[in-house]
A and B are shown apart, each in its own frame.
Chain A
């Protein structure tokens, strides 16, 4: 292996960890919604897309093709992405948080797709199918590979920070209350808890992380278009990651994200080497592979690889 090859592998590894980290954020978000509170959000792609476009519009220089010209620093873009997704999630929550699990799933699929279609068709703001280009990457002034490594470290730092915050919240009465709502909302209501309010709160918290992940992705690939917000690679893959890793367990969510992203990414390397007549089918083969893996994991580990653990209030702990 010569130096150029090794350099290439290193860059691949950096990209693997960066995107894995972005998925880990989405998984943590979904874990708050589904793992803690039992909210079936099947519209992850929509919140991801909103975050991506908001951060892109806030940080790019002026362009005749899309809304923009604010040229704000990336940090503002990301915070903006989180604020806007929070507001949108709040409105969506007010509308449909009373729906029970599978009905909520149907409603959120619909809402997610509506957001994606709006973003695709409001060409004056988003440049439609051609997307928004020249989105700034943080650490852009550094030479390659340091800009990429810097961004990877930024993503990892964000993941670690949110892991600690969310884990702290989970172990606090806040997490206990969310679990109680997931387990039995009638009993939670009888115990004086305003179930709707807390469900909306969990929905917002989770969606904010999805919006942040969207923003980070836009900066990382420096371009955002409708193709980057496909439900297959956002909604579907994130769900598989959480279920495989362990729903309700924050470490499981992170593990599932890195593990499944590695497998998904490797499967592309593998299928790209298939003979030409099979290569067209490769995309379907990858989905089949993920589905198969999900089956195997669910058969062997019903609660995911790292199942939920709630021993918060053990009596011997002071």
Chain B
């Protein structure tokens, strides 16, 4: 579905990503792991159009999307979330969600001013959808709260909610579990599983929580020093000596967890 070929990104003299190639299969939940500085987020940024690769190619369902800006990729069905939640702080939770959907006639100034009927109908649809998403995320009570007032974990849920509003084909989740308490983390993993099963979203997840990766992801891609070290099932990856090396830098180190 999404394939990355020989992707590279240099920052000055530093090669953050180098000769990186992998595929993400449709309907999979693909994990992307690796030690800090392996180039995972940089790879995400390039796929999601936030950064232009130095070289290499990214294709999505056969279309070359290398270097396309984020707002165009959105309309192809690629949605990403951020490692540090990026909410619209001074807007309510409901409004945060309602901002997302594409093709809103009310975003055109002339329509907003003069064709109220058309705008109102679409607004009703979008509000309905946003309320459903809030219910799914169990955030209904917070609909009118300002997004800036949410806790860290709730903001992570809101990130997922914004992704859902887009009705995407593939969702790139950047550390959805970071800073989320264990109970909420369990819920979050349930939600991701349900979205994958019931709505056939494809996911690609960067995560440091290995339990979450083990539970959700098949296959798992391991990155180190800017390129793909290995990939396979979590079981295979977990016992791979090269992976342990990359994480811990030692030889006879115990299994990662």
Contacts and interface: CB of A to CB of B under 8 A. Distances in A.
Contact of A193 (B71, B94, B98, B131): B71
A194 to B, nearest CB: 5
A315 B112 contact: no
Nearest to A316: B144
A299 interface: no
A183 B143 CA distance: 18
A169 B109 contact: yes
Given A169-B109, A184-B86, A190-B74, A179 B166 contact: no
B71 A176 contact: no
Contacts of B87: 183-184, 187
A168 B88 contact: no
Given A179-B91, A183-B89, A310-B91, A192 B50 contact: no
A interface, how many residues as a size bin? 20 to 34
B interface, how many residues as a size bin? 35 or more
A194 B74 CA distance: 10
Contacts of A308: 90
B144 A314 contact: yes
Contacts of A194: 71
B88 A187 contact: yes
Given A173-B104, A308-B90, A313-B94, A188 B99 contact: yes
Interface string B109-150: 100110000010001000100110000000000011000000
B107 A191 contact: no
B48 interface: yes
Given A169-B109, A174-B106, A176-B98, A315 B91 contact: no
Interface of B: 48, 50, 69-71, 74-75, 79-82, 86-92, 94-95, 98-100, 102, 104-109, 112-113, 119, 123, 127, 130-131, 143-144, 162, 165-166
Given A186-B86, A194-B71, 13 more contacts: A172-B106, A173-B104, A173-B105, A174-B108, A180-B99, A183-B88, A190-B79, A191-B162, A192-B75, A198-B107, A310-B91, A315-B143, A315-B144
